[in-house]
Chain A
């Protein structure tokens, strides 16, 4: 079997529990906390959670009540730079985990794209202000004619 194909995983009791959820915690650019600080804080909460340290922040898995409580606490560390989102698969699930397959996992590319504007979003949350955008308009016909004629004259 090619390693890129997913295998039939040997799932534990927790993996089948519909009340167990997984959340990803992202630390945006310019955050005042590190991944390690976030993980330590999760451990200090003393909740029954599976906590994983990752390059973008961390991932937590556990009963939904505990997970939401932990997220509420962790957001207080840096409200405008800590972002969270749901994840369907549990941490280390062989169907998605990078350790069992080639290349980045599905979903990573979306994360990569959103991470590029995450800094702007943090800034907008930190210092909300009204901004007027200049609407792009097509060039005037006379102006276009002028440029066209100039180009043609220069060519000759």
Chain B
């Protein structure tokens, strides 16, 4: 079982395809759940606390806006945990949950630079492109299984 980071990190299709193959998709919802169930947060609707931009410093410099650092405090641990990654590019506007183009760029940059196997896909718009996407994901996941088996 390989821990695979997905981008966008809340994608239904990517997470489901990976779970079907028995792998763990690193989804943002799990991080959010941890956050909202944390009894140390006094005001539960406030998902971002003053601690988060400080945690985000691990991933982004101090000059980077606090919004990016706050987001990285949640997404960063997923990137740290990742053993492989699947990134979807060229998605329509509004696809993904981050709501910040710079955080998206930084997260994708960190995943590419981590030295883990990365599969980059284009968002499908028709039947044939979806076939290609599903096939590529399945082949990628199978290749990860083979590598894990060799080790």
**Residues of A in contact with B (beta carbons under 8 Å apart):** 6-9, 11, 15-18, 21-22, 24, 26, 83-89, 95, 106-107, 109-111, 113-114, 117-118, 120-121, 123-125, 128-131, 133
Contact = CB atoms under 8 A, between A and B. Distances in A.
Given A9-B45, A110-B8, A124-B131, A85 B27 contact: yes
Contacts of B34: 18
Contacts of A6: 45
Where chain B touches its partner, the secondary structure class is helix
Contacts of A18: 33-34, 37
A133 B33 CA distance: 40
A120 B10 contact: no
Contacts of A123: 127, 130
Given A26-B12, A128-B135, A88 B127 contact: no
Contacts, number: 106
A86 B27 contact: yes
A138 to B, nearest CB: 18
Interface residues of B, number: 43
B126 to A, nearest CB: 7
Nearest to B126: A120
A31 to B, nearest CB: 14
Interface in B8-27: 8, 10-13, 15-17, 19, 27
A7 B44 CA distance: 9
A120 B124 contact: yes
B37 A85 contact: no
A9 B13 contact: no
